[in-house]
Amino acid sequence: MLKRAAPYQFVSATLALLWVFDAAAAGPDATWRRRQRPKEAKLGDTGWSVADLTVWPEEPPSPPADALDVGRLDAALRAMCPRLGAERGSEYAALIIRYSRQFDVDAMLLAALVYQQGRCRRRGTHYGVGLTRIHVGMHRSHWNQADRTYSYWLPAADGTAWERKSLALPDFPFNRWSARKPDAGLYFSAAVMAIYGAQCPHIDDAHGASAPHRSPVSHFIWGDRVRSSHEESEVLIARRRVIRHYTGVASPLRGAFRGRPLVSPLEGPPRKLTGGWGDPRGPRRRHKGVDFSSTMAEPVRAIADGVVWIAGADMADKPTMSLRPDRAQRLSRGALGRAGLIVLLDHGGGLTSGYMHLLKYTVRTHQRVKAGQVIGYVGRTGVKSSSAHLHFEIRVDRQRVDALPLLGPLVISHLDTKAGRWRQARWDRENKKLERERRRAANARWRERRAKKAAARKSRD
């Protein structure tokens, strides 16, 4: 143990020297070693943080903690994690409720961490271990194994110094092997969430400026210094989904088409877009829809009442065909075109909606569907390089249009995210350059013609 700790301490000591020059924080400087993920534990898609956090509406309240029901939370977990059996579902639900009560944290948020971090699976990765992928190494300097206490710091009443606090956690040893187990993993995750709940926002700038964030859950993922708000927004989307399944009540947010309400194609709106209408896709092709950031196999729902126009496959070498759901599952990857497995719905009044790259669908052509009914699951059929996402399209009078204005409060535009803005700025620059080159070429042609004319006139004179 000692041998492994030594290089870690050396690196931290070197970093500590750097922190001296990073003391812009308004509060007192941190006196403790920074909790942080190791370098190799890179997190995905951090560029999809939204630039202005005020675009997120207020989060819905959780059901009252003293009346939480194991059966309902079990059903919610199993709706979100289809491979989770009844036995593990009720075990996890009971543990989530027990430890969220013991440490006074939001059970819906703890359940959301179980889904978002581990997909209800307890195996470990470099990222962390157990159901919530808690990173035990990050807490090593705060954990005292001899008396099983966790030390942390809060500002003293006068705000000029840090006061050391300590929380007794006697039930389990806090190490990677123990945290892999559901009971110990959830016990420590709830405790760490409670501690960060007390510390955020006091510690946000104690080790250099944190990225702006809305919830202490950001610290659970990043440690003392939060680097991005993307991971937090994914957890909060999962929390809204847990609440939806637990209460059975869908989000009240609505889009609109000619006065008709539209519900979200994905649960837990608002959902983030990672691609928009008209984005370049190669030199000539343009993106004819919007892309939802989503997880593999999450349910896709009809945005309004309607009839299935096509449930089938976009084929590589022939026109789109309607197929029975079980037949579609047997198609080879190579047979599929760019859109993969698709469902198109006709909602009447000139409105149709399209859902592409589905893992599978559950409806048949000509079938009637209700608003909010599950029609399929997010996949990446037909997709070459990007990860699983929902490509969504709207047609008005059979013409494809930008879905963004119709979806309204159901989505956070890709142009509200850092990556989306950066990409847009790059395309704007490229377009300007192309425009300049076109103008220069046109001018050169005009000058050439004028010179030729002048030369012809001269030879006539």
Give which of 130, 127, 125, 98 is closest to 114, Cα–Cα. 130
DSSP secondary structure code for residue 38 in this structure: -
What's the CA gap between 106 and 263, in Å, rounded? 27
CB of 448 to Zn ion, least distance (A): 43
CB of 459 to Zn ion, least distance (A): 59
What's the CA gap between 338 and 134, in Å, rounded? 38
| Stretch binding Zn ion (CB under 5 A), from 133-141, 169-177, 310-318, 388-396 | 388-396
Fill in the per-residue mask, 297 to 336: x = in contact with Zn ion (CB under 5 A), - = not in contact. ----------------------------------------
Give which of 299, 274, 278, 241 is closest to 411, Cα–Cα. 274
Q: Is 278 in the site for Zn ion (CB under 5 A)?
A: no
Nearer to Zn ion, 80 or 412 (CB): 412
Q: CB-hemisphere CA count at 13 Å for 381?
A: 32
Nearer to Zn ion, 73 or 341 (CB): 341
CB of 388 to Zn ion, least distance (A): 12
DSSP secondary structure code for residue 42 in this structure: -
What's the CA gap between 413 and 393, in Å, rounded? 15
CA distance to 24, 57, 404, 411, 423, per residue, from 407 (Å): 41, 15, 5, 6, 22
Q: Is 200 in the site for Zn ion (CB under 5 A)?
A: yes
Nearer to Zn ion, 103 or 246 (CB): 103
- Residue 313 β-bridge partners: 321, 341
Nearer to Zn ion, 276 or 312 (CB): 276
Q: Which of 173, 201, 280, 349 binds Zn ion (CB under 5 A)?
A: 201
Chain Cα centroid distance, residue 348: 32
Q: Is 280 in the site for Zn ion (CB under 5 A)?
A: no
Q: Which of 291, 314, 393, 416 binds Zn ion (CB under 5 A)?
A: 291
Nearer to Zn ion, 415 or 451 (CB): 415
| Stretch binding Zn ion (CB under 5 A), from 50-58, 244-252, 281-289, 369-377 | 281-289
**H-type helices in 67-181, by residue range?**
70-80, 86-102, 107-118, 176-179
| Stretch binding Zn ion (CB under 5 A), from 1-9, 200-208, 240-248, 321-329 | 200-208
Give which of 237, 271, 275 is closest to 385, Cα–Cα. 275
Residues in 389-418 that interact with Zn ion by CB under 5 A: 391
Contact predicate 126/40, CB 8 Å: yes
| Stretch binding Zn ion (CB under 5 A), from 287-295, 324-332, 406-414, 423-431 | 287-295
Fill in the per-residue mask, 154 to 193: x = in contact with Zn ion (CB under 5 A), - = not in contact. ----------------------------------------
Q: Is 232 in the site for Zn ion (CB under 5 A)?
A: no
Nearer to Zn ion, 204 or 267 (CB): 204
CB of 213 to Zn ion, least distance (A): 6
| Stretch binding Zn ion (CB under 5 A), from 114-122, 198-206, 374-382, 394-402 | 198-206
Contact predicate 358/341, CB 8 Å: yes
Nearer to Zn ion, 289 or 312 (CB): 289
| Stretch binding Zn ion (CB under 5 A), from 6-14, 33-41, 196-204, 307-315 | 196-204
Residue number with the smallest Cβ distance to Zn ion = 200
| Stretch binding Zn ion (CB under 5 A), from 170-178, 291-299, 368-376, 423-431 | 291-299
Interface with Zn ion: number of residues (CB under 5 A): 6
Nearer to Zn ion, 137 or 276 (CB): 276
Nearer to Zn ion, 224 or 416 (CB): 224
Residues in 418-447 that interact with Zn ion by CB under 5 A: none
Please count the residues of the chain.
Answer: 461
Nearer to Zn ion, 204 or 231 (CB): 204
Q: Which amino acid is at 37?
A: R
Which residues, in sequence order, are CB contacts of 400 under 8 Å at separation 6+?
288, 289, 393, 394
Can the peptide bond before residue 173 be classed as cis, meaning omega within 30 degrees of 0? no
CB of 454 to Zn ion, least distance (A): 53
DSSP secondary structure code for residue 134 in this structure: B
- Structure-token pair, residue 53: 């956090």
Contact predicate 297/376, CB 8 Å: no
What's the CA gap between 33 and 251, in Å, rounded? 41
Nearer to Zn ion, 120 or 138 (CB): 138
| Stretch binding Zn ion (CB under 5 A), from 114-122, 253-261, 289-297, 420-428 | 289-297
Query: What values do phi and psi take at 433, rounded to 5?
Result: -65, -45
Chain Cα centroid distance, residue 345: 26
Q: Is 204 in the site for Zn ion (CB under 5 A)?
A: yes
- Structure-token pair, residue 352: 């149709």
Q: CB-hemisphere CA count at 13 Å for 270?
A: 22
- Structure-token pair, residue 374: 């599950």
Instruction: Write out the residues near Zn ion by the rule CB under 5 A.
Output: 200-201, 204, 289, 291, 391
